[in-house]
Structures are given as structure tokens and as C-alpha cells.
Amino acid sequence: MALRKIREIGDSCLKKKCREIEKFDERLHTLLDDMKETLLEANGVGLAAPQVGILRRVVVIDLGEDEGMLELINPVITHTEGSVTDIEGCLSVPGKAGEVERPQKATVKAYDRNGEEFEFTGEDLYARCICHECDHLDGILYVEKVSRFVDMEQGEEE
């Protein structure tokens, strides 16, 4: 496993639509393992492949100590419920945070590293994370959806 460099806002990689994974092979496994290590090192909740310069539809989400890492390959959001506005940040937009409206619950259909299809439903933070990371796969950054930026130290509007 290896740490990968997290691309930051302004990098053209973050604005491109990603291609689907077609081969569930050792290269994919290495990418997933590297992304998980990079995410943990950065103390983030989610990471999408374009954030490490790979234009493929791959996401990892840290579900916490009890649940471990969720790997989403070729994810498609199939259902959302509710609406919550909360503060969001991004590893690719360091030092910024803003209010973004997202679903309170999101169901995603995806494949695991072995090509097995599954569904996962996330609520609250995990619904937000699923939507945020899937946006990355389509070249969309959260800053494009912010209703207002906040000062991360004070929690006040900038």
C-alpha cells in the first residue's frame, strides 16, 4: 500500500467525469488499498478516485471502527429521502467549509472489489458522504453547491 497525493481545487482532474471500472483485478485492489490508507492518513471520511488523480468511478468511505471501510465501485445513487443542510468540507478544498443541502438518507448500488453487486443505505453523515463522493465522480465539487461558506474556527459566515 502507498499514500497517494490528494489533488486540490484547481487541478483539472477534479473537474472531469470518471469512467466506469471494467476490470476487477489486482490494479483495482491496489487503488482501493492505497485510497483507504490515504483517507486514514488525511483524517477524512470519504475519498473518490479523482481526488488522487485517477479518473475512475471508485469511492472509499470510512464507516468508523466498528464497520470499517466501505468500497463503492461504479456507484449509482438509486434512492434519496429527506433533506438536511449541514456544514461540509473536502480534502481537496483544504481550509474551507460551507453549508450544503443534501439528502438525509441515500441508497447506493455499487460493486465490491470482486465485482459483486450490493446496495448500501447511509443516513445523515454517510448519506452526505455518499452524495459528496459521487459528485466527485462527475467532476462536481461541493463548493459549487454551497449556500454559504463558514469560518471553520468560529462557525460563522465568511
Q: Active site includes 133? A: yes
For residue 84, which phi and psi values (nearest 5 degrees)? Answer: -140, 135
Helix or strand or coil: residue 157? strand
Q: Are strands 105-111 and 69-81 parallel, antiparallel or unpaired?
A: antiparallel
Q: Which of 8, 133, 157, 158 is catalytic?
A: 133
Residue type, 58: V
Q: How far is CA 96 from the centre of its chain?
A: 16
Partner residues linked to 148 by β-bridges: 99
Which are the catalytic amino acids? Answer: 133
